[in-house]
Amino acid sequence: MKAEKLNQSSEGVTKPEPEEEPKPKRPAVRKIDIFKAWCKGCGICVAFCPREVLAIDEEGYPYVKDLDACTGCGWCEIRCPDFAITVESRRKRRAVERRDEKEATE
């Protein structure tokens, strides 16, 4: 049974408030790039991912299994000994855009 919010009018009559539709959550990450030429297939990025966003393919290389689950923590990027993975979060992207705008106005 769903809990309904109640709204009491000036007449003392209690009416249920209409339920609001939840807004879809935007993913924290725009993209994850994996450079297979640099990757040695060690699986460290997959092992450290707390949300199981990454998986290993049949060739032994990581791939993005579920981008929507990614929080943008960057553990995979930080732990990769070959610098073969990058995580582009929305926050990082906005910071770069602001820096570029600031440099353009100077």
Q: Where are the domains of the chain?
A: 27-105
Domain 27-105 belongs to what architecture?
A: 2-Layer Sandwich (3.30)
Asked if the model's pLDDT at residue 24 lies above 70, the reply is no
| One-letter amino acid of 103 | E
- The 3-state DSSP class for residue 5 equals coil
pTM to 2 decimal places: 0.61
d(CA 51, CA 57): 17
Asked if the model's pLDDT at residue 87 lies above 60, the reply is yes
Categorise residue 83: left if φ over 0, alpha if ψ from -120 to 50, beta otherwise.
left
Q: What is the pLDDT of residue 5?
A: 53
Interacting residues of 62 by C-beta distance below 8 A, sequence separation 6+: 34, 39, 41, 43, 45, 46, 54, 55, 56, 76, 85
Q: What is the mean pLDDT of residues 33-53?
A: 96
- Sign of the C-alpha dihedral, residues 8, 12, 13, 14? positive
Q: Which of 44-48, 60-64, 68-72 has the lowest mean pLDDT?
A: 68-72
Q: Which DSSP letter does residue 73 get?
A: -
